[in-house]
A = this chain, B = another copy of it.
Amino acid sequence: MERYLPIFYGFSFLTVVIAFAFAAYLYLWVKKQKVNNAQIIKVSELIKQGANTFMKREYKILAKFAAVAAVIILVLLPSPIWNGDYIANISMAIAYIAGTVLSAIAGKIGIFVATLSNARAAEGAQKGIKPAFLIGFRGGAVMGLLVVGCSLLGVAAVLMLTGDSTILLGFSFGASSLALFAKAGGGIFTKTADISADLTGKVELGIPEDDPRNPAVIADNVGDNVGDVAGMGADLFDSNVAAMASALVIAQSLSDGKFANISMVFCYAILGLLSSIIGIATARVGKKGNPTRALNSSTYVTTAIFLVLTALATLLFEGFSWRIWGASATGLLVGVIIGITTDYFTDDTKPIVRKVARASKSGPAFTVLSGVSYGFISALPAMVGIAVSALVAYQLCAPMGDGYAIYGIAMAAVGMLSIVGMIISNDAYGPIVDNARGLAEMGGLGEDTIRTADELDSAGNTVKAVTKGFSIGAAGLTVISLLGAFMSEANTALAAAGRELITGFDIMSPTVFFGILIGAAIPAVFSAMLILGVDKNAQRMVQEIHRQFNTIKGLREGKKDAQPDYGRCIDIATTGSLKELIPAGLMSIIATLVVGFIGGPLAIGGFLLGNIVSGLLIALFMSNSGGLWDNSKKYIESGEEGGKGSDAHKAAVIGDTVGDPFKDTAGPSINTQITVVSLVASLLSSLFVWFSIF
């Protein structure tokens, strides 16, 4: 064992306690803020109920899935239980369950805090940007701190108790598999509601967003919580765990006593969490300040602190290498660069969004065509960034010895995700203030308050670009290291079978190539299935909204006693998304099994590569084109290119509707799909070795 490892376990738990305590403080601070408006209290209660109902039904389905998976793991993994190592199988199954439970808790916490903060942020907006910003941001921060705390706690506990990093893959798989379905389900829910509300309200009737007459309006706000908050929490929990787990698997295989590789992973995670705490504590916006700048600058503060702290750690501890620090710093910096380039494509003060807005004047086909085109182009800088950071990390660490190159890439991913606490805070801020805007509208808080809420909301949208850059970039690097983890797992199985070891995955091998082509098609099919899910559900909900407007007298005119049936819409979104959430995820897992049992480990290596490459491309394309359509619509609504109600606006609304499931359902789920497939491959590597056809 590494000399300092116990110290780092200790520090890990201590940091988790600090993070939880700080989260508790922030939670109490948010809770102390007052809500007085009866209408807001009522509506926010409806949102909370809707979200909780959905989560309960979703988790019930997922619990069944997890139970089946746990039994399969118990019997088969890490090796068939009849081989005699009961302890390993039991540990793996427990770790898997722990992963799912912590992931579910991450989602629950998010919903809890977000539904608490939204009403308070709405009332805060009456007093101006400053207080409302703090409420939204601190509400998000509670979630950020708890999610990162949980992941550090889980990883440290599993490794300390079992001493076996392979078991960590089980823990990570638990987190990922739950995240996959939670993201898919939440993503379908939120966009079903959002699209239906927009199409019937804004487009057909010309009533404002969040108008209480619209039967889908509560479902829309519920969607922000279950899709963006809970789904995103599960997603980043999973990315963080996967990055640490793959780094630890590689670190353990390297333990030659020269470098403290395992300790280093924990050290970086601890310092990342501490930096995030400082960043969160210092986030402020001036009285008339710019919330976007406040969010971004606290991200940069966190980044800088992390780089300094890890440099100090490298100085202090023997067995820590500057090369690893360099790899990790490269990862983090590239993450920032990816964020900035993404911002260029999606920010409405930059030319791209404005070009798409201008194209909308010629009709919706041009909105779609230009958005698709810029979305495709926007993938280039991020792909180059990931490619360069992998290359630099590898070259930096290769001289340290055999296997260190891939460890360097894993540490670049850990570096990119080090400030994930800060990132989640920013990300969760978005849906909280989005909800606050809705509540301000429904509570009748007046134009000024709505304008303030709008400004806060728009900052949330912009910052999303930066944080998405991080999470997609990190997924790219993590999966390369998972590929390394897969190879080492497969070789263990091949050695046990007395067969030739794998030294790499040569693309000239037709088996690898076979895997690559099929792997590349999977993210496309996966996202298509999710989008079709939204498509189908939204059509169903639009019909229901039409029915209500046609049968409930006085609803259209907004008469006092004409109440829409919000519950029916929530129910349609819930039932529909629960029906659609399993197939897409299951398809990716089954495709992995089919390729593995046909082509064996070589085909799986190719499959993972194809999956990550096309997954990155499609995820970047969908996230960014969705973001730029959303912001071109907002740009036009601010009075440009004809303003609200113009033909350009109508075209932009169509673009935004297309972009909604791109950016909030399919795009961000691809991350998780890639991770899940990689983990399935690693976990089942021995089965593929034994039972494949070729």
Contacts and interface: CB of A to CB of B under 8 A. Distances in A.
A39 interface: no
A614 interface: yes
Contacts of A158: none
A617 B518 CA distance: 10
Interface string A534-552: 1100110010000000000
A508 B505 contact: yes
A508 B504 contact: yes
A14 interface: no
**Of listed A393, A409, A510, residue having the most chain B CB within 10 A:** A510
A416 to B, nearest CB: 15
A9 interface: no
B483 A524 contact: no
A614 B694 CA distance: 26
Interface string A312-349: 00000000000000000000000000000000000000
B373 A535 contact: yes
Interface string A506-543: 11111111111110110011011101101100110010
Given A364-B364, A364-B654, A505-B507, 19 more contacts: A195-B365, A366-B535, A368-B368, A373-B528, A375-B528, A379-B524, A383-B520, A387-B515, A387-B518, A391-B513, A391-B599, A394-B510, A395-B694, A406-B508, A484-B508, A504-B504, A521-B617, A524-B621, A614-B617
A480 to B, nearest CB: 7
Contacts of A203: 363
Contact of A480 (B383, B513, B527, B610): B513
A581 interface: no
A599 to B, nearest CB: 8
A658 interface: yes
Interface in A591-611: 599, 605-606, 609-610
A507 B507 contact: yes
A586 interface: no
Contact of A517 (B386, B508, B514): B386
Given A368-B368, A531-B373, A514 B614 contact: no
Contacts of A621: 524
A516 B613 contact: yes
Interface string A614-654: 10110001000000000000000000000000000000001
A676 interface: no
Interface string A385-411: 011101101110000000001100100
A604 B500 CA distance: 28
Contact of A508 (B359, B483, B616): B483
Interface residues of A, number: 83
A377 interface: yes
Contacts of A529: 373, 377
Interface in A445-481: 476, 480
A53 interface: no
Interface string A478-491: 00100110010000
Nearest to A385: B517
Contacts of A605: 507
A86 interface: no
B609 A370 contact: no
20 contacts: A195-B365, A199-B363, A368-B368, A369-B532, A372-B531, A373-B535, A376-B527, A377-B525, A379-B525, A380-B524, A383-B521, A384-B517, A387-B513, A387-B517, A395-B510, A395-B694, A504-B507, A504-B508, A517-B613, A524-B621
A657 interface: yes
A124 interface: no
Nearest to A608: B507
Nearest to A522: B380
Contacts of A268: none
Contacts of A375: 528
A374 interface: yes
A414 to B, nearest CB: 17
Nearest to A203: B363
B377 A542 contact: no
A33 interface: no
A483 B507 contact: yes
A282 interface: no
A654 B372 CA distance: 14
Given A516-B609, A516-B613, A362 B542 contact: yes
A351 to B, nearest CB: 13
A197 to B, nearest CB: 13
Nearest to A650: B364
Contacts of A516: 387, 609, 613
A512 B505 CA distance: 11
A231 interface: no
Nearest to A361: B539
A525 B195 CA distance: 29
Contacts of A373: 527-529, 531-532, 535
Contacts of A614: 520, 613-614, 617
A661 interface: yes
A650 to B, nearest CB: 10
Nearest to A591: B380
**Of listed A359, A503, A516, residue having the most chain B CB within 10 A:** A516
Nearest to A511: B391
A503 B379 CA distance: 31
A384 B515 CA distance: 9
Nearest to A531: B373
A532 B516 CA distance: 30
Nearest to A398: B510
A539 B377 CA distance: 21
**Of listed A387, A509, A531, A542, residue having the most chain B CB within 10 A:** A387
Contacts of A532: 369-370, 373-374
Contacts of A387: 513-518
A365 B617 contact: no
A195 B368 CA distance: 14
Given A390-B514, A517-B384, A539 B362 contact: yes
